[in-house]
Amino acid sequence: MSPRTVVVLGASGVGCRFALAANAAGHRVTLVDEHPQALKDMSIDAPYFYGAGLPAALNNANAIAQSFLEANPELMECLESGIDVRLSTILWGAFRNGENSIHIGTPKAGLVSREGNELLDHDVLVIASGVRDFVPSFLGWELPGVFGAKAGLALLDYYGVFEGERVLILGTSDIALRLMRSLRSKQITVAGVVEPGSSIAAGPEAAAWIEGEGIPVHFGKVIASAKGKVAVEGARLVTLDGTGSEEIACDSIAVAVATLPNVELPAAMGCGMRFSTELASWVPEVSIQGETSVDDVFYLAPKADEAMIEAMLARISGAARAEWQPSSLTLADASSYIQQWIKSLHQTGGPDVIMCQCESVTRGEFCHLEPPKYLGQGMRTSQTPTNQTDNPHAPRLDQDLVKRMTRVGMGHCQGKRCRDEAAFTLVQRFGIDAEDIRPGSYRFPLRPVDLSLIADDDETDDIRLNWQMWPYETRNA
């Protein structure tokens, strides 16, 4: 076997395990992860939803880097085994020759860090990009003190800078349980758990643990609003029919409804995608070797097991390409849980809640495809986004259209906060299955990047001198 140059994106557990195995097999491995993130990047809420209340202790970059490493023994192992580990580095794009782009040469991964940017040549790309927070909108969700479960876990377990003392939890799925266990292990009070359904989504064992901890559970309710002037001071809950309500005192509201896979890289690279009901997300189609529809681009799902790592490594080391296979993961149905939350929140909260924080667009404005307020102009006739077609395989609705008309998903966070609520809102409002939507497109860069960091500072003469003044220079050719 000839060693290959492998870029692994994502130093989660499975990313690190794969990197170690590939390194041990003799491949040249570079492992890239955006964590620990700069404060400015954390404020964009991708991949974790920190909200507006970032603890001041995060400013101490050295201490943060130290505790991040200490909390990640597998990452330490990667460093010690000689893997080229790039932390606090964003993989903003990946480029390889393909249809209508045949001048890239060797595949390139665009990396950017505080030091600047680099195009890293490689053979194989392994995407182990993990998951992000799903945080649906409610009144006051922009207040400091509202955050997502993954963000909470990062503050608690990676950085050790969690500041909350009384945390209200929204949701009862596995991720909610993980968060509550971490909070309780640090003696932090869980003020209560909110669940629109009538049972604990994570199952009876979890229910017994919650009861044992004496945590109050509010079944049949959702949050109506986060209360507080400059930060969260409490939450108002309502019953689903809107008749009963109660106030809970808390300084933090953790949204722990679900996590969703980070798929922006395979989507933006043009890998074949399918909708997974279990994961409530479009995910790359992969073979049993984890290979996507793009040769030498692999996707390592967050729950991938050792057998998958082995099969992938065999393929990278020269085994023949295997056929497609549908995912064999059997998971809870995240789609219906997410949909239950969105439905309950919208039914109790109404159309006037801001859904897109970057562009200040309400749910109602979004559903009616209204132009942004700064244009100061309305529409002659109200419109719906569903299309007409005779094609049985066509999407029934194009999320990009709604996005470009309303700007929900076009703001500074690149839609990381709102795109999923937006998609499921369209599903509910227009009675379409999620797989019949064309989801909003993902584009490079995968995170917003400072122009001064990404601009090419070693431009070749070839590019410099042959740059075309579109399109006029050619007119007399």
Partner 1 sequence: MQNYDLIVVGAGILGLATAYQARKAGAKVVVLDKGATAYEASSRATGYLSLRGETPEESPLAQMAEKLWDGLDEELGYPTEWTQRGRIWAAVNERELAELKELYQSFEKTDIAFEFVDGQALRKMIPSLTDSCLGGIHTPRSGHANPQRTSQAFAWAFTDLGGEIREYTPVLEVLATGGRVKGVKTPYGEIHAPRVALCAAAHNTLLLAPFGILFPLAPVRLEALVTTPMPPLFDQCFIGNGLSVRQTKRGNLHMNGGPYEWIDLEIDKESPKPTTPIVRNILRRAIETIPLLKGAQFLRSWAGIVDMAPDQMTTIHLFDNPEGLLTVAASGHGFGMAPAVGVAMADLALKGATSLPIEHLSLNRFRHITSDWREKRRWHAGQYNT
Binding region for partner 1 (CB under 8 A) out of 5-13, 54-62, 168-176, 406-414: 406-414
| Residue length of the chain | 477
Pick between residue 320 and residue 463 the one whose CB is nearest to partner 1: 463
List 80, 99, 241, 461, residue binding partner 1 (CB under 8 A) = 99
Footprint on residues 41-60 left by partner 1 (CB under 8 A): none
Binding region for partner 1 (CB under 8 A) out of 7-15, 239-247, 280-288, 469-477: 469-477
Question: Shortest distance, CB of residue 475 to partner 1, whole angstroms?
Answer: 5
List 60, 101, 106, 325, residue binding partner 1 (CB under 8 A) = 101
Pick between residue 109 and residue 279 the one whose CB is nearest to partner 1: 109
Cα 51 from Cα 53, distance rounded (Å): 6
Question: Shortest distance, CB of residue 414 to partner 1, whole angstroms?
Answer: 7
Cα 435 from Cα 448, distance rounded (Å): 28
Binding status of residue 466 toward partner 1 by CB under 8 A: yes
Binding status of residue 461 toward partner 1 by CB under 8 A: no
Question: Shortest distance, CB of residue 110 to partner 1, whole angstroms?
Answer: 6
Pairing mode of beta strands 354-356, 297-299: unpaired
Cα 127 from Cα 376, distance rounded (Å): 43
| CA distances from residue 332 to 100, 229, 277, 279 in whole angstroms, order as listed | 40, 38, 9, 8
Binding status of residue 246 toward partner 1 by CB under 8 A: no
Binding status of residue 450 toward partner 1 by CB under 8 A: yes
Binding status of residue 119 toward partner 1 by CB under 8 A: yes
Question: Shortest distance, CB of residue 285 to partner 1, whole angstroms?
Answer: 16
List 401, 430, 432, 436, residue binding partner 1 (CB under 8 A) = 401
Question: Shortest distance, CB of residue 117 to partner 1, whole angstroms?
Answer: 7
Binding status of residue 2 toward partner 1 by CB under 8 A: no
List the strands of the sheet with 234-239, edge to edge: 221-227, 234-239, 245-249
Footprint on residues 266-325 left by partner 1 (CB under 8 A): 268, 270
Cα torsion through 415, 417, 418, 423, rounded to 10: 80
Binding status of residue 456 toward partner 1 by CB under 8 A: yes
Binding status of residue 103 toward partner 1 by CB under 8 A: yes
| Consecutive H or E run containing 212 | helix 204-212
Binding region for partner 1 (CB under 8 A) out of 165-173, 177-185, 405-413, 416-424: 405-413
Structural contact between residues 129 and 300, judged by C-beta atoms closer than 8 angstroms: no
- Residue 256: how many CB atoms within 10 A of its CB? 30
Pairing mode of beta strands 131-134, 28-32: unpaired
Q: Which of 340, 164, 357 is nearest to 254 (CA)?
A: 164
Pick between residue 77 and residue 142 the one whose CB is nearest to partner 1: 142
Q: Which of 182, 188, 187 is nearest to 158 (CA)?
A: 182
- Residue 270: how many CB atoms within 10 A of its CB? 15
Question: Shortest distance, CB of residue 465 to partner 1, whole angstroms?
Answer: 10
Which pair of tokens denotes residue 7?
């870029």
Question: Shortest distance, CB of residue 371 to partner 1, whole angstroms?
Answer: 5
> 398 pairs with which residues across the strands?
438
Specify burial of residue 254 (Cβ count, 10 A radius: 0-12, 13-18, 19+): buried
Show the binding pattern over residues 357-396: x = contacts partner 1 (CB under 8 A), - = does not.
--------------xx-xx-x-xxx-x---xxxxx-xxx-
Binding status of residue 463 toward partner 1 by CB under 8 A: yes
Structural contact between residues 396 and 387, judged by C-beta atoms closer than 8 angstroms: yes
Binding status of residue 417 toward partner 1 by CB under 8 A: no
The C-alpha angle with vertex 405 and arms to 357 and 132, in degrees rounded to 5, equals 40
Cα 124 from Cα 172, distance rounded (Å): 38
Give me the residues that bind partner 1 (CB under 8 A), please: 92-93, 95, 98-104, 108, 110, 117, 119, 268, 270, 371-372, 374-375, 377, 379-381, 383, 387-391, 393-395, 398, 400-401, 404-405, 407, 410, 412, 414, 438, 441, 443-445, 448-452, 454-457, 459, 463, 466-475, 477
